[in-house]
Structure formats: structure tokens, C-alpha cells
Amino acid sequence: MPEALRTLVAGEASGLVLALDESLSFWGGFESESGTIIDQAHPQVGESLAGRVVTMAVGRGSSSASTVLAEAIRLGTGPAALIMREPDEIVNLGAIVADELYGITMPVLIVDQTTFDAVASAERATISAAGSITF
């Protein structure tokens, strides 16, 4: 069973996988009310992130994205979990503050390329509090 290299925000989650083809800037590229991608230049514009285990290799965009992500987690329109290759402080902050303020955890895991690719091509994935991933 693959393990995260690092668990930046720990928690349990399960959901259908959405593999992002390109990084998404949560500020300007994502609408927290609906949980959908609104960046017209993003190849998956219109897709919903709500409740999905989202794979996104690296983060992107404005630091205001932390608030947008925290707001989506509060509303229940955010991802169930984020699986990444590289840590991104802006994404982390959104998840950390949602956890601290509302007690809602959206796990953020850093994984190696093999695990990343395997999760990205899976239909569903489940994350344990200890950071192991089943799919």
C-alpha cells in the first residue's frame, strides 16, 4: 500500500479521483460557491472538485488562493484530499486554517512520481490518517 512521502495535513478522506492536467490557481481559477473550475484557459474548466481526491503536481497562483480554498472547504465544495508532488505553502495554508477554524480536514499529501501517477489513473482513492493511500 503506497505511503505519502510527507503528510502536510493529516486526515481521512475518500472519493472519486480527479487528475488535474494542469495546475490550478484557486484565486481566479476556481469558484468556492460551486466548487468548479472557472479558469477559461484550464483544460478542465467546468469540472467540479467537490468531494474529489484531486491530484495536482505543483501549486500555482496568487497567495489569496489560501482564503478561496479555506472557503470551499468550509462550504463543502472543496476537494476531499489533495495529492501533490511538491509542497505548496498557499494550498497548505488554506487546508491548515480550515482545519483550525472549522475542524474540517482536507488531507494534503506529498507522494513520489510512481504513486502520483497510480493515483491519478485510479477511479477512486482512500486516504488514511496515517497517510497511506488505497485505490
Partner 1 sequence: MTLTLDGRDQEMLAGEHGEAAMLAMRVITRVAASMQAKTLLDISGAHIDSCLYHGQAGLDFARRLADDGAEVVVPTTLNVSSLDLLHPELYRGDDHTRSQALALMEAYEQMGCRATWTCAPYQLDDRPGFGDHVAWAESNAIVFANAVLGARTHRYGDFIDICCAITGRAPAAGLHLDAARRAEVVFDLAAVPDRLLELDVAYPLIGHHIGKLVGTRIPALTGVPAGTSEDRLKAIGSAGASSGSLAMFHVVGSTPEAPTLDAALGDNRADVVAMGAADLRVARDQLTTAATGERLGIVSLGTPHYSVAEFGRLIELLDGRRVRDGIGFYVNSGRDIVHEIALRGWERRLIDAGVQIVTDTCTYITPVMADHHGVAMTDSGKWAYYAPGNLGLDVVFGSVEDCVESAVAGEVRRDDSVWADA
Q: Does 55 bind partner 1 (CB under 8 A)?
A: no
Q: Which of 63, 76, 124, 129 binds partner 1 (CB under 8 A)?
A: 63
Binding segment for partner 1 (CB under 8 A), chosen from 15-23, 47-55, 92-100, 119-127, is: 92-100
Q: Does 22 bind partner 1 (CB under 8 A)?
A: no
Q: Does 98 bind partner 1 (CB under 8 A)?
A: yes
Identify which of 10, 9, 15, 5 has the alpha carbon closest to the alpha carbon of residue 76: 15
CB closer to partner 1 out of 10 and 118: 10
Give me the DSSP letters along the chain: --B-SEEEE---EEEEEEE-SS---HHHHEETTTTEE--TTSTTTT-B-TT-EEE-SS--S-TTHHHHHHHHHHHT-S-SEEEESS--HHHHHHHHHHHHHH-----EEE--HHHHHHHHT-SEEEE-TTSBEE-
Binding segment for partner 1 (CB under 8 A), chosen from 14-22, 43-51, 90-98, 121-129, is: 90-98
Binding segment for partner 1 (CB under 8 A), chosen from 11-19, 47-55, 62-70, 117-125, is: 62-70
CB closer to partner 1 out of 23 and 48: 23
Q: Does 101 bind partner 1 (CB under 8 A)?
A: yes
